[in-house]
């Protein structure tokens, strides 16, 4: 099998021949962000955001417990307090961003939009 490569200018395009003899073209990967660039202050604010109002806004039921804790019947064993949560049965814990990503399955950018309302 013969492989040939050709580069042009600073935007490389690689040509190679696949096993069936057809020419294939591979273009460089452009790594683009999937959302806006967030400032450190926005990320810090989102991390510290109180979870209870955010989750109520999403329609999740919160049941108050002692010492300012809440449990979520939709997620048995998960406990929230202020801007933090823990789920001992799954060995998970974190801040508001972590909750949206790890528990709700959102991307970081979706989580940021949900939390800070951007």
Do 23 and 74 lie in a common domain? no
- For tokens 């979870």, the residue is 51
Do 25 and 48 lie in a common domain? no
Give the count of domains, the chain.
2
Do 3 and 53 lie in a common domain? no
Query: Could you report the per-residue pLDDT of 63-95, keeping only the tens digit for each?
Result: 999 999 999 999 999 999 999 999 999 999 999
Do 59 and 27 lie in a common domain? no
Do 66 and 103 lie in a common domain? yes
CATH code of the domain in which 78 resides: 3.90.580.10
Contact 85, 94 (CB under 8 A): yes
Q: How many other CB atoms are found less than 10 A from the CB of residue 111?
A: 20
As a whole number of angstroms, the distance between CA 65 and CA 35 comes to 37
Domain of 15, in residue numbers: 1-31
Contact 5, 16 (CB under 8 A): yes
Query: Could you report the per-residue pLDDT of 23-37, keeping only the tens digit for each?
Result: 444 444 444 556 678
pTM: predicted TM-score of the whole model, two decimal places: 0.69
């Amino acid at each position: 099998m013969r492989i040939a490569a050709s580069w042009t200018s600073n935007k490389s395009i690689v040509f190679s021949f696949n096993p069936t003899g057809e020419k294939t073209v591979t273009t460089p990967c452009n790594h683009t962000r999937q959302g806006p660039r967030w400032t450190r202050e926005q990320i810090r604010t989102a991390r510290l955001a109180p979870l209870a109002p955010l989750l109520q806004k999403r329609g999740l039921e919160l049941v108050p417990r002692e010492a300012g804790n809440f449990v979520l019947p939709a997620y048995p064993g998960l406990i929230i307090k202020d801007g933090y949560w823990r789920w001992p049965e799954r060995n998970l814990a974190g801040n508001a961003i972590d909750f949206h990503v790890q528990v709700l399955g959102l991307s970081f950018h979706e989580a940021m939009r949900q939390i800070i309302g951007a």
